[in-house]
Amino acid sequence: MLITHDTRCALDTVVDLVNTAPEDDTADGLATLAALEDFVANHEISDVGTLTELDLSAVRKIRGRFSGIFAAPEPRAAAVLINELVAAAGTTPRLTDHDGYDWHVHYFAPGASVADHLAADCGMALAFFVVAGEQERLRRCEAPDCRRAFVDLSRNRSRRYCDSRTCGNRLHVAAYRARRKEAAG
């Protein structure tokens, strides 16, 4: 599957957005307007204007809808959620070559809110995975104490953890210690 630069940026953005949601013992990564402003700046989200509390509320709402896509049991369920998000955003595909990037497609209308911008661009990036028959690559970490979202871009679709250096390594070390303990008696 060919993943263009802008699609990869949208995938990284939607994964990071979903992972800002509060989990069992973590705080909301978008608790304040300043946090949203940092998110927009860190992901270089262009053409969003001045952000307000209404933007923060709208982004939190679509974050939950994106989370549902990562939890979708099959492509048809993911497609329904993606279609709703993209349609509500008023998608307006257009070619652009801003900020030193070569030609690419933006799916949000000029002057769209940050929530509509995210819904359109990130929704379309996820749609490409469903169209390519790769919806199973939209995953949640399999570590028992972690449910972070990620996109499995491994060649053989074998990635199981959001980060092999933290979740994966921690589980492998625990399994190793359990085997050693069992072998010792």
Q: Model confidence over 128-169: pLDDT tens digits? A: 999 999 999 999 998 888 889 999 999 888 888 888 667 876
Nearest to 61 by CA among 138, 126, 114: 114
Tokens of 40: 């927009």
Nearest to 7 by CA among 139, 122, 113, 153: 122
pLDDT for residue 172: 64
Average pLDDT value for residue range 164-183? 70
Nearest to 51 by CA among 121, 124, 116: 116
Average pLDDT value for residue range 14-43? 93
Chain length of the chain? 185
Give rounded-to-5 percent helix, strand, coil for the chain. Answer: 55, 5, 40
Query: What's this model's pTM, rounded to 2 decimal places?
Result: 0.86
**Euclidean distance between CA atoms 171 and 17, whole angstroms:** 25
**Euclidean distance between CA atoms 88 and 121, whole angstroms:** 12
Let me know: does 105 contact 125? Beta carbons within 8 Å: no
Tokens of 148: 């972070």
pLDDT for residue 164: 64
Let me know: does 66 contact 122? Beta carbons within 8 Å: yes
pLDDT digits (tens, 9 = 90+) for 44-99: 998 888 999 999 999 999 999 999 999 999 999 999 999 999 999 988 888 988 77
Top-confidence residue, 23 or 134: 134
Q: Which H or E run contains 95?
A: strand 94-96
Burial degree of 139 (CB within 10 A; 0-12, 13-18, 19+): buried
Tokens of 152: 């499995």
pLDDT for residue 175: 65
144-156 b/e with 16+ CB inside 10 Å = b? Answer: eebbbbbbbeeee
